């Protein structure tokens, strides 16, 4: 065969070499390269994994040669905890294998921590609880030597407890034992309206200073001492500055 090939004219030998190279390239492309290209470009339909837990979703996606990627968290009390809320790409889309499927995972019902309330006035405590999405359903009172009247002694559940939003909290406030109370805010009120209230609480009205009130109506309280929020007790003296024409 080799002798026969050598006897052929040079032109024919070159033609045969070209044909052999072409045939080898065709076989290589048809049986090696093309299957690789076809496999790399194959597509699959994205399954619907919404509502499934992470483990189930991962198994289903892996079976189709897709990859699950956690793209974030969201709170939804209507769905099971750790279930998938949404996905990208959407279900039934055709994508290439090994494509990443990004999912948003549910963290269940959102929870908040009960704040530290001891020492706050009941009004401030209730406002804080309301801003956090919780609610006060009961307010009890006990005697206390260390906490001023109408200030929080404790909460149930206690501070630091994790609760679902809209959960109820019970407050226990102080009713005092030695006449302690918080100094009320008198500024802007009429002296005639608060005198009876202060005396009824066992307080003493001390100096009343009259100063020009400019745009204020005569008899309106402009300054006070002690300042609002200070802890006072029965028998303490309250000094007031009142507007006059």
Q: What angle do CA 27, 31, 34 make, to 5 degrees?
A: 110
> Is pTM, for the whole model, over 0.85?
no
- Residue 131's Cβ-side half-sphere holds a number of Cα atoms within 13 Å equal to 7
In our burial notation (b when 16+ CB lie closer than 10 A, e otherwise), range 202-226 reads: ebeeeeeeeeebeebeeebbbebee
Compute the distance between CA of residue 175 and CA of residue 117 in angstroms, rounded to an integer: 16
Give the Å distances, CA to CA, from 213 to 139, 218, 241: 40, 7, 10
CATH code matching the domain that covers 46-106, chosen among 3.40.50.850, 3.40.50.970, 3.30.10.20, 3.30.420.40? 3.30.10.20
Residue pLDDT, tens place only, 182-216: 888 899 899 988 888 888 778 899 999 998 866 78
Architecture of domain 183-244: 2-Layer Sandwich (3.30)
* pLDDT computed for residue 212 by the predictor: 83
Domain residue ranges of the chain, discontinuous segments joined by +: 2-40, 46-106, 111-174, 183-244
Question: Do the beta carbons of residue 140 and residue 171 sit within 8 Å?
Answer: yes
Residue pLDDT, tens place only, 80-122: 888 999 999 999 999 999 999 999 999 887 888 999 998 888 9
Q: How much is the mean pLDDT over the chain? A: 83
Question: Do the beta carbons of residue 93 and residue 75 sit within 8 Å?
Answer: no
């Amino acid at each position: 065969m080799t002798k026969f090939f050598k006897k052929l004219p040079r032109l024919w030998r070159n033609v045969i070499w070209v044909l052999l190279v072409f045939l080898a390239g065709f076989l290589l492309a048809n049986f090696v390269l093309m299957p690789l290209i076809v496999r790399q470009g194959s597509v699959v339909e994205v399954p619907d994994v919404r509502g499934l837990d992470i483990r189930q979703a991962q198994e289903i996606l892996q079976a189709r040669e897709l990859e699950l990627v956690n793209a974030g968290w969201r709170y939804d009390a209507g769905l099971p905890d750790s279930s998938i809320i949404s996905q990208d790409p959407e279900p039934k889309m055709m994508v290439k294998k090994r494509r990443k499927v990004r999912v948003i995972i549910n963290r269940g019902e959102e929870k908040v921590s009960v704040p530290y309330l001891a020492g706050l006035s009941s009004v401030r405590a209730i406002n804080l609880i309301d801003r956090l999405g919780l609610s006060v359903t009961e307010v009890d009172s006990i005697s206390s030597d260390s906490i001023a009247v109408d200030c929080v002694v404790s909460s149930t559940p206690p501070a630091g407890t994790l609760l679902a939003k809209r959960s109820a909290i019970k407050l226990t406030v102080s009713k005092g034992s030695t006449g302690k109370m918080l100094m009320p805010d008198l500024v802007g009120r009429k002296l005639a309206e608060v005198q009876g209230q202060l005396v009824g609480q066992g307080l003493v009205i001390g100096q009343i200073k009259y100063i020009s009130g400019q745009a204020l109506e005569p008899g309106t309280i402009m300054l006070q001492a002690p300042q609002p929020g200070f802890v006072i007790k029965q028998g303490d003296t309250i000094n007031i500055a009142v507007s006059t024409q």
